[in-house]
Structure 1
Amino acid sequence: MKNLFTSHKEELKDLLRYGVLKAEVLENPGLYNGRLGMTILFYEYSRYCDDPLYEQFADEIMDSVLELPNDLSLNFSNGLSGIGWGMAYLLKKGFIEGNMDEILSDIDQKLNKSDLKESDKGYSTYLNMREGKTDNENEILKNIWESCLYHSFLNNLKINI
């Protein structure tokens, strides 16, 4: 994600200010365009600029992500498989601490009871992250950046002009 921060250096502060405001009102807990995606962005930025304020903000958002609604979809972009991927990512990168099996047990149970199969791309992407396979990690992080922050910010600018 460092390359995204450096390539958008000019507008980065505006993007992050917008992200702080957006994160406060987001209802979607998901990975793309949701609270977990914003959490990942703020944890990554905190590490990038060595600013604990962004880490504290990410911690606050993270607390609300853990309160998952019962009717949450299973898909990758806004549902359980994406949230599972994001939680596994945060654990593997050391942004949050804990036992992965314990933290992801509810998600695992719901996904295992579902009709999703390993052939489902989102489910298999989640399983791969659990197993430490990070083949498409950069692509997912770029999608988080674009869906949670960058395109949303640009669309908001167009609306307000």
Structure 2
Amino acid sequence: MNNLLQRIANTLVLYSYHINDNGLFTGRTGIIYYLYNYSYYVGNEYYSDFAGDLLDKVLKASNGLSNDFEHGLTGIGWIVSRLLRENLVDGEPNKVLQNVDKKVFSRIACDPEISLLGHAIYLLERLKFDPDGLNLLEQIDNILKICENGLQKYVGKISLYHINSVLYFLIAIDKERKYFDRVENIRKLLPNVLKRIIDQRLYDATDQLIFNQLIENVGTVYLPRWNYIRLYQFPKMIDYTDPVERYIYTARMQEIYFGIASINAPSDQQINDFIDRKQESITLDGFLYQKGLAGLGCAILKSNLK
């Protein structure tokens, strides 16, 4: 497996300069994340130095970025915060992320069909460093208000991919007594939303797995409040996705929500074949965090944390 990880790292170093997008899923930030983690894994600062140069370029370009998680600033901020928390980069989070915080929370919006509630994911990550920060605590109220208004009034398509990020936020905030009533108001809206998701078939195998794992992670003392959500069943869907791409996607979502990847890895042969295909085709999306080599490398490294 070490040889596979090195192949991925060297390929990303070679081709990353051809990538102009700065986002997490579809750009440089996902590559940066893998190279920092790989550098720590092998004890070779060359890769972290290279990643640091890329990160400087990403942060300098942050003014022109959107605020979404997949392509924009909330995803980039989430990665930087996590790198700081894991001591893979140096800095004081509130100073390093001060400008990111201002830009991220200046406007909270996303597309609930195709996007995560990235502001909530970023906020929970920031609160791990600064649980009493007044500016951050104010954003809990803002996001709760947006969740309630959105689920009440939005008539467009909503995916389980998106709702899982809402659940992640609600389950975390529900541990604070002062938010009990507001979380309950939103929780009451979820059954109708889940029914719409099933009717429109806006979910896949990974979304189902993450939904179940999120509910399983609700603490015993809070579980009764989540019972009518916990018992919700999604009809199974046939999965035609390439097994390595499914592994990358599932591991990525598990890392976002749980910090590690618990999905079983494909065989070494399947992984080797996947890397060969990406190196032979030399398309930029083959190198990315979304479903390319950066995503595969992160999945393998985070699977090793089990």
Give the TM-score normalised by the residue count of structure 2: 0.41
Q: 1:128 maps to what in 2?
A: 124
Q: Does 1:90 align with 2:83?
A: yes
Q: Secondary structure at the match of 2:25?
A: coil
Amino acid at match of 1:77: E
Q: 1:15 maps to what in 2?
A: 8
Q: Does 1:156 align with 2:152?
A: no
Amino acid at match of 1:55: S
Q: Does 1:38 align with 2:31?
A: yes
Shift of 1:20: 0.6
Larger Rg: 2
Classify 1:77/1:155 alpha carbon distance in 2 versus 1 (closer, same or farther; 3 Å).
farther
Contiguous gaps of at least 5 residues in structure 2: 129-171, 173-255, 262-271, 283-306
Task: Report which structure shows greater RCO (CA 8 Å, sep ≥6).
Answer: 1
The answer to whether the Cα contact below 8 Å between 2:108 and 2:119 also exists between their aligned partners in 1 is no
| Cα distance in structure 1, aligned partners of 2:56 and 2:108 | 29
Q: 1:63 maps to what in 2?
A: 56
Q: Does 1:75 align with 2:68?
A: yes
| Cα distance in structure 1, aligned partners of 2:15 and 2:259 | 24
Give the TM-score normalised by the residue count of structure 1: 0.74
| Cα distance in structure 1, aligned partners of 2:260 and 2:21 | 22
Shift of 1:153: 5.0
The answer to whether the Cα contact below 8 Å between 2:82 and 2:125 also exists between their aligned partners in 1 is yes
Superposed CA deviations along residues 21-71 of structure 1, whole A, max 9, x for unmatched, are: 222222112222322221111111111111121122122212212212433
Classify 1:17/1:121 alpha carbon distance in 2 versus 1 (closer, same or farther; 3 Å).
same
| Cα distance in structure 2, aligned partners of 1:65 and 1:129 | 20
Contiguous gaps of at least 5 residues in structure 1: 1-7, 140-149
Shift of 1:124: 0.8
Amino acid at match of 1:138: I
Among candidates 47, 55, 75, match of residue 54 of structure 1: 47
Q: Secondary structure at the match of 2:2?
A: coil
| Cα distance in structure 2, aligned partners of 1:154 and 1:109 | 42
**% of aligned pairs identical?**
27
Alignment RMSD (CA, Å): 2.8
* Count of residues paired in the alignment: 142
| Cα distance in structure 2, aligned partners of 1:86 and 1:45 | 15
Shift of 1:158: 5.5
